[in-house]
Amino acid sequence: MKQTAPGTSEFNYPNYPVSNGYLTEKIRLQYIRSAISRKLLPENAHRIQQIIALEAPNEIGKPIQFWQLFSVLGTERIINIVRSFYQRVYADEPWFKSVFERVSGIDHHIGTQSAMWVDVMGGGLTYHGGEYRLNFHHTHNAIELLNDRGAQRWLELMVKTLNDASIDLTNDPRVRPALNTFLNYFMGKYAHDFRFSNSADFGALNPPMKRRLNFLNMSSDAIEALSIDELRDELIARGVDVSDYNDKRDYVNRALRF
């Protein structure tokens, strides 16, 4: 990671080449619509390149969307996460692990789940069959666990996996919230589709994306009425080095120069 002005950090993504999979575009659209309705993304999110791109943003202040995760993690890290999870599944109580065992051995689940993650996360065409295959799996193979008890146990094992210090999520602190957002979105989707309670708590999620301010369209009074945090965030987002600013007047004066 390359350090720049205080308050910002830059990475050099993509670490891995990206492309749409069978699920990427559809899931991205569904998530963006849902996030807009919950005011987590601005209304024009589907036109903001930082959001819709498959490559993660290099600025530390910009969250990573889950369809950008492949550009950071690559195939091997994703497989390692999924493998660690299924090792926990196959060592779990019979009522839970037996559902997976009836479908196939552990390697099968690691392969198919990893392919789905890579596909959604921008790693290309890996999950053949796309949404039809995903829906078939849940309505036929996993249906016994798509209830309050099964979802809670799945959640517990996944959180243990992600909290394991041996799991390599890179040194980018935005990766875990992006993963949590990915898992939280799908858990919410399945809770709705299969009518079980959604008590998912994977940890911190991506923060809401604030509406960008347009200083050019704001009066001097409107700019001065902004909080110092709003001014700081907007100036940093524009690439301004604010490390030497001592009080609000410094921020206001810089904003007025746009």
DSSP class per residue in 208-235: PPPPPP-GGGS-HHHHHTS-HHHHHHHH
The CATH number given to whatever domain includes residue 147 is 1.10.490.10
- Report pLDDT for 211: 66
98-105 contact pairs (CB < 8 A, 24+): 99/141, 99/142, 99/144, 99/145, 99/150, 103/141
Q: How far apart are CA 115 and CA 70, in angstroms?
A: 12
> 139 and 120 share a domain?
yes
> 159 and 42 share a domain?
yes
> 152 and 235 share a domain?
no
pTM: predicted TM-score of the whole model, two decimal places: 0.80
> 165 and 230 share a domain?
no
> 226 and 127 share a domain?
no
> 131 and 250 share a domain?
no
* Residue 35 structure tokens: 């996030």
> 117 and 236 share a domain?
no
Torsion of CA 176, 183, 77, 149, to 10 degrees: 110
DSSP class per residue in 51-100: HH-SSPPSBTTSPPPGGGTHHHHHHHHHHHHHHHHHHHHTTS-HHHHHHH
Q: How far apart are CA 81 and CA 110, in angstroms?
A: 9
DSSP-based three-state secondary structure for 123: strand
> 62 and 17 share a domain?
yes
> 117 and 178 share a domain?
yes
- pLDDT tens per residue across span 81-117: 999 999 999 999 999 999 999 999 999 999 999 999 9
- pLDDT tens per residue across span 122-178: 999 999 998 889 887 888 887 888 899 999 999 999 999 999 999 999 999 999 999
- Phi, psi values for residue 152, rounded to 5°: -65, -40
> 22 and 99 share a domain?
yes
Compute CA distances 27 → 138, 159, 204, 245, whole Å.
Answer: 16, 22, 21, 42
CB proximity list for 69: less than 8 A, separation 6 or greater: 56, 78, 121, 122, 175, 178, 179, 182
- pLDDT tens per residue across span 1-38: 443 443 445 799 999 999 999 999 999 999 999 999 99
Inter-residue contact 9 to 1 (CB < 8 Å): yes
- Phi, psi values for residue 9, rounded to 5°: -145, 150
Q: How far apart are the first and last CA of the chain?
A: 30
> 101 and 165 share a domain?
yes
Number of structural domains (the chain) is 2
The fraction of the chain above a pLDDT of 70, given in percent, is 95
Q: 197 is in which domain, residue-wise?
A: 1-211
> 127 and 26 share a domain?
yes
